[in-house]
Structure 1
Amino acid sequence: MRVAPSLVVQLADHLEALGAIERVRDPADRRRQRLTLTEGGSRLLGAAGGLAEALDEELTAPLTPEDRAALSRILERLAARAGIPTE
């Protein structure tokens, strides 16, 4: 993920406190933990996705469909160059 491990731990701590994930020790390697999305986490993910879509619509409302398509292509190229998957 190209993120400092300490940030991943903080994020996991926060998500666990929200009840969005559960940590389970990996039986094959007790040093590792598996993070599992809970039912509440699934609802949270859906809500966040809906909010992101609404924000995207709000921010791009002034753009024509052609401008939106061009912006999308440009952002995908920049993400690809940075090694960030877009799907």
Structure 2
Amino acid sequence: MTWRPAGVMGVAPSLVVALADHLQKLGAVERVRDPADRRRQILTLTEHGRELLGVCAELARSADAEFAADLTEAESAVLTALLDRLTGR
């Protein structure tokens, strides 16, 4: 089965190409042709990409904590459950 990132993300394929181009320019991914299908490209996360992913994950956790700082524990649980439900669609 072929994984189609644009379909998974619900965006136009051209946006995925632009994102891949940008990540390659940052040195976050390496791009090679799929030997089994020359129309496809395989993106591999580089060490620098792993570092950037770690930084982005920490920033996201920090933003989430700041966003939900005024919620009670119960409210936070409800929000999390609702967001999980929405993203499951």
TM-score by length of 2: 0.87
Give distance in 2, aligned partners of 1:78 and 1:41: 29
Out of 20, 31, 39, the position equivalent to 2:39 is 31
Displacement after TM superposition at 1:76 (Å): 1.1
Which blocks of at least 5 consecutive residues in structure 1 are unaligned?
none
Give distance in 2, aligned partners of 1:68 and 1:55: 14
**Which residue type is aligned with residue 28 of structure 2?**
A
Displacement after TM superposition at 1:78 (Å): 1.4
Following TM superposition, the consecutive aligned residue runs of length 4 or more in structure 1 with deviations greater than 3 angstroms are none
Displacement after TM superposition at 1:40 (Å): 0.2
TM-score by length of 1: 0.89
**Which residue type is aligned with residue 75 of structure 1?**
L
How high is the sequence identity, in percent, across the aligned residues? 59
**Which residue type is aligned with residue 36 of structure 1?**
T
Which blocks of at least 5 consecutive residues in structure 2 are unaligned?
1-7
What's the C-alpha RMSD, in Å, of the aligned pairs?
0.8
Give distance in 2, aligned partners of 1:76 and 1:29: 35
